[in-house]
Structure 1
Amino acid sequence: MSSAATRPAGPDDLWSVDEHLDDILATVRPLEPIELQLLDAQGCVLVENVTVPVSLPPFDNSSMDGYAVRVADVAGASEEFPAALEVVGDVAAGAADPVRVGPGQAARIMTGAPLPPGAEAVVPVEWTDGGLGEGPASGMRARSLAPEGAEGQVHVYRPAEARAHVRAEGSDVRAGELALKAGTVLGAPQIALLAAIGRGTVRVHPRPRVVVLSTGSELVQPGEELAPGQIHDSNSFALTAAARDAGAIAYRVGAVADDAETLRTTIEDQLIRADLLVTTGGVSVGAYDVVKEALSSVGDEDEPGGGVEFRRLAMQPGKPQGFGTIGPDHTPLLALPGNPVSSYVSFELFVRPAIRALMGLTELHRPRARAVLKADAALRSPRGRRQFLRGRYADGEVTPVGGAGSHLIAALAKADALIVVPEDTESVEPGGEVEVVLLG
């Protein structure tokens, strides 16, 4: 059983939102670090500091296509009195042994090519005649008319300061400096930096594998015809998408009928690919709430700490909840209610933080803000329950969207925030201040 299983829990006992969340986070631990190839590590959390083995860039190089020159040779150059320099060769990107530039000389150089010995600056090709002897050339024209390897003279029409258009060795990061610190989430820029400093693999907490399944004999796959009494399964799609948004690798399992043995078998089959299991539906007190029946025996009763506990929370929507660990690896399982809004609100409050804890993140929760209630009438909330209403937030104000019904999916799709009404508050008047959870 989970860490808070020793808490007294009678049939009429209510857990607070915070107690339930604390129990989940006390049980869930970051996944064991593994070494991954860079692209496989995208979205993962770094578990070690990464230092720079070689300065970046590793050598002085040109930031322009042009000519590598000595500053004294182009001092005072103008269109009327250009500096005429001998072209001694080409320096291409990747050149290992570039030519030396002496007095009165220049080397044709490409962007990213190493600054050749003797050169002190780069003049862009647009400041020259491109070696054509016909006045200042556009970069395109110069490159198309001056073949590589062609030697002769180039006329330079502007002076250049020392180090002009030169990327200095170590100007990005120097050898020995900290490139990325432990706890960094690896996005595209971070992966680019790791590749640039020569790291082919990196040690990270892997993204958790989350398996989502919904229960209910009334559920039909989207795209299929509905028979009387049936509805399309939306919860499993919503929760799978939400798990991916939170950073997980999420798998959706088709809806499982209201049969305890079928559900038990499905859950046991999914354990092999799950770091976290999420079910939706079948957790209240109805006659067909088979999740409780199925999970009562799927946990390893012979192993200490196994099993799922079903609770009633002092919240609306989302009062019925289940949490525990199952299987030989004590895989965490969160059982959410089946009403669409209840299911989604429960995910945001409990499952998302659990996913981010598995990832090794320290920022587990959505950001929150204070907002002025913009509404035509007061918000009503049952005393003793923490209510979460859908709303739209902008410029410090929040407007309710839809009603309090836990089936209102269309209203949920229009919301970008949850309005929080505390347990001890029964009414919030228009213009009053409320806390909001920002979903966007």
Structure 2
Amino acid sequence: MQALEDYVAGLLADLEPLPAVVLPLAEAHGLVLAEDVPAALPVPPWTNSAMDGYAVRAADAAKADRSPVVLPVGGDVPAGAVPAPLAPGTAQRIMTGAMLPEGADAVVRVEDTDQAPGPRPLPEQVEIRVAPRPGLNVRRAGEDVGLGDPVLGAGAVLSAAALSALASAGAGSVRAVPRARVAVVSTGAELVDPGAALPAGSIPDSNSVLLAGLVVEHGAALASVSRSADTAASLAGVLTAAAAGADLVVTSGGVSAGAFDPLTMLAGDQAALDEGREMLAEDRAAGAAIRLRFARVAMQPGKPQGHGTVRADDGREVPLIALPGNPVSVLVSFRTIVAPALARLMGRDGVGGTGETSGSGGGPAALVLPRAGARPPVRARAAEAWKTAGGRQQYIPVRFVPAPTGAAARPGRGTVGPTRWVAPTHRLGSGSHLVASLPAAQALAVVEAGTPAVSVGDEVRLIALSRPAGPDDGELPPPLAEP
């Protein structure tokens, strides 16, 4: 059997990030920036007021600490207006964010005058009760970012805050790596639509629902969902059609040694299958050209795996990842195999660190967001004992639980920070068919190959499971490890 790390490395070696495209900011959320972006505008673009109050020359109210200074009010400066110059010895009422009048060098808060805050008629004069200093409550043009300064470096993930920064610095669009379009194909004559009547021997097609959701949760775009019968001809046609609008095709089922597994039938070479050699499968009637490489990976669940390419009608060789068909195997395989492939396609892997630029970028590191990268691993203690997979690395869905009464960490098995405790989500552990218990899973616990058993208090590594954001986010432990 092949180690999971080696299998994933071989798969990733055949992938390149998708070509960058120019997108409006509104369509770029969550993508990875493909080039450094300098400021096209200073931020702020002009010197403005940080408070609602009165724009003045500081020298005109310098004695206000000893006795109030009364200045005539020459006009209003609402946000968005271009004010008239400030005449010496006068004040102008000004709103937060409004451009500072020429000649003014300070803003006195309305609370430090005799005027009441809120919508009121413009007063003829204002009594200043606090002596301002030059620069008081003033935001200088470019004090955040100057014209031409770096705003974001290539490799930054375009979060809401990042897009806001780009907009404020004058950008209306960005060059970014697009979302990968993923086509989902489930195989099996026994599959029926969810909710449909269930003939004897049939099962609901839960894998297509699971894969479609995982694609979106991992930041990719769902291109299509289709299903194939258990014949090589049916699968070849479905794969070719799926590849037409996709950057990646992910299948579930049909990669084992069963007599009716369509992917292995499509390969048609049992010796090559057994040896893990690449095979070219052609169906001339369907116009299909599919390259496949199968492997037995030392993981539980998910031992039978495959990957290759499908030739689309436009001549593109679209990557194909073939997963086993049991639902827990699909979840584990997606998280450990498909997720890294999506990261490669969308420019999210191979970069890390914080406060650094790439290419020609420079300037203050604080202005450059962290690049996409793996989080530090998180570990936990087993609150229950469970069986392991012997010579295979085990990935078992777990949930966070209170510490068992009287339990303590076993000595000599590593250290954990603030101790977290986990237990399998189902009494049958990592059974690949236990789909109904998956919603309870908050992470995958990783048990190294060769571990004889997991005992209470033993340390395990955790891999986070993707899930949509929700109101209970704050109740969960901090983000967990990437694979």
TM band (smaller chain):
0.7 to 0.9
Give distance in 2, aligned partners of 1:426 and 1:21. Answer: 25
* Kept after mapping to 2: 8 A contact 1:62/1:109: yes
Structure 2 unmatched ranges of 5 or more: 268-279, 350-371, 402-418, 467-483
Give distance in 2, aligned partners of 1:164 and 1:47. Answer: 40
In the other structure, the counterpart of 1:52 is 39
* Kept after mapping to 2: 8 A contact 1:353/1:365: no
- C-alpha displacement at 1:322, in angstroms? 0.9
| 2:284 corresponds to 1:277 | no
Structure 1 residues 365 and 329: alpha-carbon distance in aligned structure 2, compared to 1, 3 A threshold: farther
In the other structure, the counterpart of 1:382 is 389
% identical equivalent positions: 44
| 2:460 corresponds to 1:434 | yes
Structure 1 residues 58 and 86: alpha-carbon distance in aligned structure 2, compared to 1, 3 A threshold: same
Choose the corresponding residue for 1:398, options 422, 438, 458.
422
Give distance in 2, aligned partners of 1:77 and 1:83. Answer: 5
In the other structure, the counterpart of 1:358 is 345
In the other structure, the counterpart of 1:317 is 301
Structure 1 residues 257 and 299: alpha-carbon distance in aligned structure 2, compared to 1, 3 A threshold: closer
Give distance in 2, aligned partners of 1:382 and 1:319. Answer: 11
- C-alpha displacement at 1:205, in angstroms? 1.4
Pairs within 5 Å for 1:95-244: 95-96=81-82, 98-130=83-115, 137=116, 139-140=117-118, 143=119, 145-146=120-121, 150=122, 152-244=124-216
- C-alpha displacement at 1:289, in angstroms? 1.0
* Kept after mapping to 1: 8 A contact 2:282/2:290: no
* Kept after mapping to 2: 8 A contact 1:299/1:307: no
In the other structure, the counterpart of 1:263 is 235
The structure with the largest alpha-carbon Rg is 1
Structure 1 residues 167 and 89: alpha-carbon distance in aligned structure 2, compared to 1, 3 A threshold: same
Q: CA RMSD in A?
A: 2.3
Counterpart of 2:27, as a letter, is D
Q: Give the secondary structure class of the aligned counterpart of 2:438.
A: helix
Counterpart of 1:382, as a letter, is A
Counterpart of 1:391, as a letter, is V
Counterpart of 1:361, as a letter, is R
Q: Give the secondary structure class of the aligned counterpart of 1:380.
A: coil
* Kept after mapping to 2: 8 A contact 1:299/1:325: no
| 2:42 corresponds to 1:33 | no
Give distance in 2, aligned partners of 1:367 and 1:330. Answer: 35
Give distance in 2, aligned partners of 1:194 and 1:55. Answer: 11
- C-alpha displacement at 1:367, in angstroms? 5.3
Output one character per residue of 1:322-351: Cα deviation in whole Å (capped at 9) or x when no partner.
111120322110010110000110001100
In the other structure, the counterpart of 1:42 is 29
* Kept after mapping to 1: 8 A contact 2:226/2:238: no
Give distance in 2, aligned partners of 1:272 and 1:324. Answer: 16
| 2:277 corresponds to 1:293 | no
* Kept after mapping to 1: 8 A contact 2:42/2:141: yes
Q: Give the secondary structure class of the aligned counterpart of 1:273.
A: coil
- C-alpha displacement at 1:365, in angstroms? 5.7
Q: Give the secondary structure class of the aligned counterpart of 1:112.
A: coil
Greater alpha carbon shift after TM alignment, 171-180 vs 353-362: 171-180
Give distance in 2, aligned partners of 1:366 and 1:222. Answer: 36
Give distance in 2, aligned partners of 1:299 and 1:256. Answer: 15
Q: Give the secondary structure class of the aligned counterpart of 2:244.
A: helix
Greater alpha carbon shift after TM alignment, 181-190 vs 84-93: 84-93
Structure 1 unmatched ranges of 5 or more: 1-13, 131-136
Structure 1 residues 233 and 366: alpha-carbon distance in aligned structure 2, compared to 1, 3 A threshold: farther
- C-alpha displacement at 1:216, in angstroms? 1.7
For normalisation by structure 1, the TM-score amounts to 0.86
For normalisation by structure 2, the TM-score amounts to 0.78
Give distance in 1, aligned partners of 2:89 and 2:193. Answer: 78
- C-alpha displacement at 1:352, in angstroms? 0.2
Choose the corresponding residue for 1:64, options 45, 51, 54.
51
Q: Give the secondary structure class of the aligned counterpart of 1:268.
A: helix
Give distance in 2, aligned partners of 1:299 and 1:396. Answer: 52
* Kept after mapping to 2: 8 A contact 1:373/1:397: yes
In the other structure, the counterpart of 1:416 is 442
- C-alpha displacement at 1:411, in angstroms? 2.6
Structure 1 residues 220 and 367: alpha-carbon distance in aligned structure 2, compared to 1, 3 A threshold: farther
Give distance in 2, aligned partners of 1:364 and 1:354. Answer: 14
Output one character per residue of 1:303-323: Cα deviation in whole Å (capped at 9) or x when no partner.
xx9601122222211111111
Counterpart of 1:420, as a letter, is V
Give distance in 1, aligned partners of 2:264 and 2:24. Answer: 41
